[in-house]
Amino acid sequence: MIFPVTDLLDDQESLEWLEKYFHPKGLRCPSCRATTQLARVFRTHKRGFVDYRCQKCQSVYNLYTGTLFAGSNLEPRRVVLLLRGVCKGDPSTVLSEELSLSRQCVHRWRCPIQANAYEMLSRSALTDSDTETDEMFPQRGKKGENTAIPSVRRAGEAHKRKGHGTYENDRPSVVGTVGRESGQCRLRVREHTDSKTLNEHVHGSTKKEATCYTDEWQGYNKINRTHRHGMSREERVGER
């Protein structure tokens, strides 16, 4: 069942939420930085948001000005739910049905939202003295390309190919490093999990004096850090 989720959100609360996160210092004129107190309502959109005209420089702006949604006519509540769905990783087909938008429209918005989120990821090293690094291999398909492994599989069917995944066999790796004290994490999609790639990831995610805990995958053997192997996969399975 597809719930009409756009009908369940309050328009005013959606406006306030977007202003809080789109303009954390308050909505201002993009030209002279004057607040909306020095502006008048220029136009009220049927979609639920307002255009302001600055009384100082005569610029016209609204809630979406200076954001990815500049020039968009999407209702604020649809923008809130679209951002929520993309952050959760909901498929475009599901979002299109829930938001009453075309799948092409959802996909068109998903691409810049994800790209912007990736650019905002922290590039700084974790400050923790003890860190853990591991990798995972989600099954993904590259649309429009002949993939070595079929993208669509039956429910519950496991990937049969031995060894670590790569872009070439349609199993790109996600490498993550987490700080034991802070709980903060540095996640990156990597094409491979060889020694060079894992060295670059660990060096970029941890400080020099940090101790790095890993499993026994050979790609970690040449990490130039205080390095300790955790339990092997067989040992972890044996403890369960």
Q: Mind listing the pLDDT tens digit for each residue in 148-199?
A: 434 434 333 444 555 565 666 556 788 999 999 999 999 888 888 888 889 9
Q: Given pLDDT bands bounded at 50, 70 and 90, which one contains residue 3?
A: low
> Residues 5, 81: contact at Cβ < 8 Å?
yes
231 pLDDT above the threshold of 50: no
Q: Mind listing the pLDDT tens digit for each residue in 190-221?
A: 888 888 889 999 999 999 899 999 988 888 88
Angle CA 189–191–197, to nearest 5: 90
